[in-house]
Structure 1
């Protein structure tokens, strides 16, 4: 019986040591999870900001393209008017 008690005591000590070891690992993993969750939140925030920035830039591009189109049309009208003025002057 003493031998069995001694063996059971050793097993209990081993189990307690294993429990402590795994408890520390669990704490470490929980901390890593918290860190990863924080990093994920930061990445999501940056992604949302980037998406808003892209939308603003796309709108700016559209606006600039519209302005360029209008400016080209104005240039074409001015060119036609100058050509017509030149013809009128040559006919005089």
Structure 2
């Protein structure tokens, strides 16, 4: 090998070493970004699960309230009829 070839190989080796360092740093940055995004995903999934449970609970509460409202309306209607009948009875006396 000539001195020129050795010098070129040395330069190529240096360039490859620099590129390896550069890409190693990028890889570290990407791994950190992946970790951060994974943590954010877990947090979002936890919030979504909590929200789904909360929605289910609110839907049940809504259903219960609608049922109570229906019952109260029916009870009110019965009371009105009874009151009306009592009024008719009183007017007939």
Fold shared per TM-score above 0.5? yes
Q: How far 1:19 moved relative to its partner?
A: 0.3
Q: Which residue of 1 aligns with 2:67?
A: 66
Q: Which residue of 2 aligns with 1:32?
A: 33
Q: Which residue of 1 aligns with 2:18?
A: 17
The total of aligned residue pairs comes to 92
Q: How far 1:15 moved relative to its partner?
A: 0.3
Q: How far 1:11 moved relative to its partner?
A: 0.4
Whole-angstrom distance in 2 between the partners of 1:79 and 1:60: 28
Residue 8 (structure 2) pairs with residue 7 (structure 1): yes
Q: How far 1:16 moved relative to its partner?
A: 0.2
Q: With structure 2 as the length reference, what TM-score do the two structures score?
A: 0.98
Whole-angstrom distance in 2 between the partners of 1:17 and 1:91: 109
